Structure 1
Amino acid sequence: MLWRPQGLIATSECLQMEYVAVFVAFLFPGALVAFDSESLQQLSCFAALRIYCAGIWHNAVCCAACGFALLLLPFILFPFYVHGDSPMVLGVPSTSPLSGYLSPGDVIVSVDGVPIHNVQEWIEMTSLINQLALGDRNHSIDVPGFGTANRRKGYCVPNSMMEESKQIIIADSQSSCPNDLTAFTTVPCAYSSMLGDGHPIRIEKAHCLNAKDVIKLNKCGDGWAAIITNGSNCICSEDESCSSPIPMPGLVWVEVTYSRPYSLECLRVRRKSFVDPRTSEGMESNCGGTFVFVGDIIFMARSVQLTAYRPRWAFPLVTYLPHVLERILICTFQVSLTLALLNGLPVYFLDGESILESTLCHFAFLCQRKRRKVLQVCLLMGTLISVLAFFRIALYTL
């Protein structure tokens, strides 16, 4: 900035400025306003303190304004954007494990059947699923060749599908399924009481099933947060078996449901549905779906860029506007808060030095000599602590 609030306060006190300088200190911009020292000393301590604190108050007001704007941003953008409905994908890096599943403009609807409304819920839900899947080792099945399988997540697979599927006989810890199939193991209800002693159960057989077909079936087990099993793991019918996927050790099985409301195919289907309502039956395949991710879901959740704002109309150019506004407000808030804290510190050559000196003038029991000693000790300690803190933060950041 080419001006500082001290200049405005000094003008109200009829104090003349000599010059204004701009500098950059540790990547933070700053400005220096020089006053006539003789005129400044003639002012009262309270008037001088007002001038020195003007910059800090300006940064504090700027922080408050940015924070208030962030709170009101959903209401300001309400006519053009939907907030808090479902997070929308802004970007998927090529290094993200979801690069083959999601694309910019997709909307995340639910995770393991639990609706997701914002980015925070997306992070918290994936963390909870990861904790439940990997944190409780007593609820697991040891399958040779496949590692540890979480039996608490299952699907009610028809017995006819199990008979038609390729069956794997576990032998010498060597087993595999074709690339397009996933290994599942049937978990009878009798096993639920055997898991309480903490000993894993060894399964000798597994079935290779198509995960895309299995996830369309009803769920069973007590590992799904979105369904109620009435305290029982056996909610499948007599002609069905509760089958659980067998992931690799340390990996988590999670279902992600998404929609593509702004895709060209979905927009075409929507237009046709106004003419012929029967065409809306194909909207599910054209406007989204459900996929299964097996891996590190914490890294998966943090590898995509999401926003809580969705445009009410399909205009790609305005998709990133709320995100840009949020980043500007957050960055301004952080910079203003940092400058306010830095200027208030009792450090040499900053506003904190003059503020501390003016404040000590109000202590009448201190003579001028003692004031100078207290000022020098505080400035020396404040500068030393600030330098050590800065280097510690720099090392932690690197």
Structure 2
Amino acid sequence: MDVTTVLGSVILLHTFFYYLDRYLKGKNSQRYSSFLNRFPVQIDFMNVRWTTSMFNKALCSWAMMRLKFLSKWYNVGTVITLLLCIPSLILLGSTALVSFENMMTNKKEEAMLQPVVPGVNLPSYDLPYYLITLLVCTVVHEAGHAIAAVSDQVPLVSIGLILWLIIPAAFVELPTSNVVGLSPWKQLKIYCAGVWHNIVLSAMAFAVLMMLPILLIPLFQSGAGVSVVNLNAYSTDGHHDFQVGDQLTQINDCHVTGVESWRLCLTAVLLESSGFCLDNSYLASSSSSDQLGCCNDSELSRSHLCFLSSPNFVPKKYHCLRAREVSQLSSAWCSNHKGCSSVNQSCLMPSFHSESVNETDSSRLIIVKRKSADPVLFAGLPNEIYLSVYVSDYVPRIFIGPQFINFIEHLLRYISSFSAGLAVLNVVPCIFMDGHHIVGALSEIAFEGRGSISMKRQTQYALVFLGTSLVVINIAFGVLTLFL
């Protein structure tokens, strides 16, 4: 299903449960009341919230046993988070400039930070990765606030999850009076803890991603081709077609060792035409009365392919032959007759345009070799394969397929980039974000014992206004750039 269908279905479900909740509460249903007592779910319009305090005692006990470590951990995290503030403002400013230039000049240069819109710059099939990543990043972020607060003797009110449309997130409720009563430095540690956890999560995900090829050596091999993990919009019609799990080793005369060489080999097919060296005796025995038949869209073209002798061979000869038979009998790849080892051989080039019309065609006959299976013969554009056949570097040594590892690798990439992006956005002094509270605590430390209260407030307002403006401008420019 596409993104529009998914969103429409989710909106209908939210609407149904919202009015069902209101109806059951209006009737004072005892069963529904007992259900809500056991599962404290709050249903509002287009969002569902679940809160609980059942983990408070366990979390407090765990933190009390590690107070010294947690104190050092969040002291280091606070310093690193504060060092990130200025670079984040500079990054937002440069990103806004890049987005503005893109709009003015119609360029497609990518900015460092940009909004992610499912179905626009986020593939719809990546939506599950996106939602899982958001949940993981927000849970780790809120865990930072909760653990930092507990380690400074601030009790937890509750923790919970919220689902807004299809977007999941976590949250922590802390007693405001207890947090405000702490010293500015302890407040700062609590406010910076979420960003600090996102920084650590991003670094850990990136480190594991880089070490995957080493960690997976017992299960997978690299450099031995690529494995097909997904066929996006590609239809498999039979035995001689791509299948999930195939190990692809060669494209025409180009050897495939990994994902990057897979891309380069497909590009090489488009840039250079390759032919087949065939014995003249075979061509003579396979001659048809209508050699131009399949070159002019006749019935013969449904089962045969038009081949043309290489350009430096005069006069030109046309041959209507079965492509798979040609590929099996060919002794070598060639670009002209000189590329064939024998004078009794001819170099035949696949032809995809009609001789009756003066037209050109960039289609190619692409032969993709597979381990333990017949080669795939594809007549068309190389980018059709590149966009529809999703491959992985990980070739399984045993029965475990690459789909699971591909899922892990893809998820790690999302977590690393999204967690870093959330850290950058949250440290900016924007209203409703952690940066707003960080600026407040910092100003308390900076103006303690000096300056007037009005000066302190004006400084806070100026920084929050600057940060909020940068975030709003970036979101506005980023969304406009996507749709222009």
TM-score normalised to structure 2 length? 0.59
Q: 2:193 & 2:143 partners in 1: Cα distance?
A: 8
Q: 1:124 & 1:86 partners in 2: Cα distance?
A: 13
How far 1:186 moved relative to its partner? Answer: 1.2
Secondary structure of 1:314 counterpart: coil
2:405 counterpart of 1:322 = yes
Q: Which amino acid aligns with 2:209?
A: L
Which residue of 328, 331, 334 maps to 1:218? 331
Q: 1:97 & 1:313 partners in 2: Cα distance?
A: 27
Secondary structure of 1:61 counterpart: helix
Which residue does the alignment assign to 1:138?
none
Q: 2:466 & 2:308 partners in 1: Cα distance?
A: 66
Q: 1:38 to 1:329 in 2, by over 3 A?
A: closer
How far 1:155 moved relative to its partner? Answer: 1.7
Q: Which amino acid aligns with 2:388?
A: S
2:349 counterpart of 1:257 = no
How far 1:111 moved relative to its partner? Answer: 0.9
Q: 1:299 to 1:368 in 2, by over 3 A?
A: farther
Overall identity of the aligned pairs, in %: 21
Which residue does the alignment assign to 1:185?
308
Which residue of 243, 248, 253 maps to 1:108? 248
Secondary structure of 1:250 counterpart: coil
Secondary structure of 1:238 counterpart: coil
Q: Which runs of 5+ in 1 are unaligned?
A: 134-151, 192-202, 224-231, 260-286
| 8 Å CA contact 1:170, 1:204 repeated in 2 | no
| 8 Å CA contact 2:333, 2:339 repeated in 1 | yes
2:447 counterpart of 1:342 = no
| 8 Å CA contact 1:188, 1:242 repeated in 2 | no
Q: Which amino acid aligns with 2:351?
A: I
How far 1:347 moved relative to its partner? Answer: 1.4
Q: Which amino acid aligns with 1:113?
A: D
2:346 counterpart of 1:241 = yes
Q: 1:23 to 1:204 in 2, by over 3 A?
A: same
How far 1:73 moved relative to its partner? Answer: 2.4
2:197 counterpart of 1:58 = yes
Which residue does the alignment assign to 2:143?
4
C-alpha deviations, 1:44-63, integer Å up to 9, x for none?
Answer: 4x333222111011111111
Q: 1:89 & 1:19 partners in 2: Cα distance?
A: 45
| 8 Å CA contact 1:92, 1:99 repeated in 2 | no
C-alpha deviations, 1:78-109, integer Å up to 9, x for none?
Answer: 2233334222223435x415554121222111
Which fold has the larger relative contact order, with Cα–Cα distance below 8 Å and residues 6 or more apart in sequence? 1
Q: 1:392 to 1:25 in 2, by over 3 A?
A: farther
Q: Which amino acid aligns with 2:303?
A: D
C-alpha deviations, 1:281-310, integer Å up to 9, x for none?
Answer: xxxxxx323232111221212212333323
C-alpha deviations, 1:348-376, integer Å up to 9, x for none?
Answer: 12101011233344555875423322322
C-alpha deviations, 1:257-291, integer Å up to 9, x for none?
Answer: 012xxxxxxxxxxxxxxxxxxxxxxxxxxx32323
Secondary structure of 1:215 counterpart: helix
Which residue does the alignment assign to 1:207?
319
Which residue of 276, 283, 288 maps to 1:166? 288
Which residue does the alignment assign to 1:124?
264
Secondary structure of 2:369 counterpart: strand
Q: Which amino acid aligns with 1:299?
A: E
Which residue does the alignment assign to 1:296?
381
Q: 1:343 & 1:30 partners in 2: Cα distance?
A: 15
CA RMSD in angstroms, aligned pairs only: 3.4
Q: 1:84 & 1:359 partners in 2: Cα distance?
A: 52
Deviates more, 1:107-116 or 1:327-336: 327-336
Secondary structure of 1:166 counterpart: coil
Q: 2:192 & 2:351 partners in 1: Cα distance?
A: 64
How far 1:20 moved relative to its partner? Answer: 4.8
Q: 1:35 to 1:57 in 2, by over 3 A?
A: same
Q: Which amino acid aligns with 2:187?
A: A
Matches within 5 A, 1:43-122: 43-44=183-184, 46-92=185-231, 95-96=233-234, 99-100=237-238, 101-122=241-262
Q: 1:342 to 1:255 in 2, by over 3 A?
A: same
Q: Which has a greater percent of strand? A: 1
Secondary structure of 1:85 counterpart: coil
| 8 Å CA contact 1:19, 1:35 repeated in 2 | no
2:484 counterpart of 1:372 = no
TM-score normalised to structure 1 length? 0.70
Q: 1:168 to 1:9 in 2, by over 3 A?
A: same
Secondary structure of 1:320 counterpart: helix
Q: Which runs of 5+ in 2 are unaligned?
A: 1-138, 354-360
| 8 Å CA contact 2:149, 2:155 repeated in 1 | yes
Q: Which amino acid aligns with 2:205?
A: C
Q: Which amino acid aligns with 2:247?
A: V
